[in-house]
Amino acid sequence: AEVAQAAAWLFQPETAYRVRPGSDQGTPVPLDEPQAANPPDGAVLDYYLKETPSTPLQLEIFDSAGNSVRRFASNDILKKTNPDDLQFPMDWVHDQEPISAKAGMHRFVWDLHYALTAGTHASFYGPSAPIALPGRYTVKLTANGKSYDQPLLVKIDPRIKTSQADLEKMFHAESLLAKNMGALSLTLRQAQDLQGNIATRKKEAAGNGRLTEALSALDRKNTELLGTEKDLDFGIFGLSAPASGNPTLHQALWASTGLLTVVQTADAAPSADAALAIGKWDAATREILERWKTFWREDRQRTDELLQKSKLKPL
């Protein structure tokens, strides 16, 4: 009766178990093969809405220290799977939908992962966002400005005997690599956009020798920082250290992606080799990002000044 009279209600979730889905990437089960309904992987969150709220519905998860872990909203715009990225039909793909804000009873499953860092996207074959540690969390539902809280307990897969300390080492490695992947992805996209803009300005500056040379010099330096995707080789999943010389954005991103894949292959602390490679590639990432900032602040700015003097749009 209390639930039926409430404007909204968040039910206390059952204990969630951190169980990793199978990693087999073989052929999906044929659609005509009978299959039993398996329970979803993650925390099952049930809530009730008496009426559709006038503002977007929000569902948030916080850790024991009050830090935001994940936020979902009914007005989220979620990325759809590109069929061209798959090696099998879309029939097996189930893209995530935003949480429902319609009146009635709803069930939403949090997959126990943090949000992907800005600039990165999940794929069927790449690494995922860091997975939440076993521990106590708080789920908060917000509807029409009013919030409802419930505790959530996340436990480790009972078959896993890894200590909490080692799981925390794994989580910190995941978080560092995911952060670097996000920063590198955004910077790489910026460098690629700059390449296109330089090519456009070169055409517009035809006949202006000084400006054309400045644009060519900027293009060469940008290409040097960007690197190419050809011949990227870092041993098995990126476990080798950075080679001598300045790493490129492509190299650093490829290595971080490979290392994150390695870290997520088991619920365990990173191996000594992985930890060494992570430390070296983190330093290399900070170095290439700092070189890019200097290039963007100084070299690009000087070229922009020349473009403006020639009445052309800056880069």
Rounded to two decimals, the pTM is 0.88
Radius of gyration of the chain (CA): 24
The single-letter code of the amino acid at 34 is P
Share of the chain above pLDDT 70, in %: 92
Q: What value does the mean pLDDT take over residues 38-65?
A: 94
Is residue 233 pLDDT above 80, yes or no? no
The segment with the largest mean pLDDT, out of 93-102, 128-137, 245-254, is: 128-137
190: exposed, middle or buried (Cβ count in 10 Å: 0-12, 13-18, 19+): middle
pLDDT reported for residue 18? 94
Say if CB 265 and CB 258 are below 8 A apart.
Answer: no
Mean pLDDT (the chain, rounded): 89
Share of the chain above pLDDT 90, in %: 68
pLDDT reported for residue 23? 60
pLDDT reported for residue 230? 64
pLDDT category of residue 239 using cuts at 50, 70 and 90: low
pLDDT reported for residue 27? 65
Say if CB 224 and CB 247 are below 8 A apart.
Answer: no
Backbone angles phi, psi at 37, to 5 degrees: -80, 115
Between 86 and 134, residue with greater pLDDT: 134
pLDDT reported for residue 232? 61
292: exposed, middle or buried (Cβ count in 10 Å: 0-12, 13-18, 19+): buried
pLDDT reported for residue 179? 95
**Rounded alpha-carbon distances, angstroms, from residue 282 to 90, 131, 143, 156, 300:** 36, 20, 41, 29, 26
* Percent of residues in the chain assigned helix, strand, coil, to nearest 5: 40, 15, 45
DSSP label of 157: -
Per-residue tokens: 63: 């850790």
pLDDT reported for residue 67? 95
Is residue 25 pLDDT above 80, yes or no? no
pLDDT reported for residue 185? 94
pLDDT category of residue 92 using cuts at 50, 70 and 90: confident
**Rounded alpha-carbon distances, angstroms, from residue 192 to 169, 185, 196, 222, 224:** 34, 11, 7, 9, 12
Per-residue tokens: 182: 């996000």
H or E stretch at 103:
none
Q: What is the b/e burial string over 104-136, where b = at least 16 CB atoms within 10 angstroms of the residue's CB? A: eebebebbbbbebbeebeeeeeebbbbbbbbbe
Q: What value does the mean pLDDT take over residues 78-97?
A: 81
Backbone angles phi, psi at 194, to 5 degrees: -65, -40
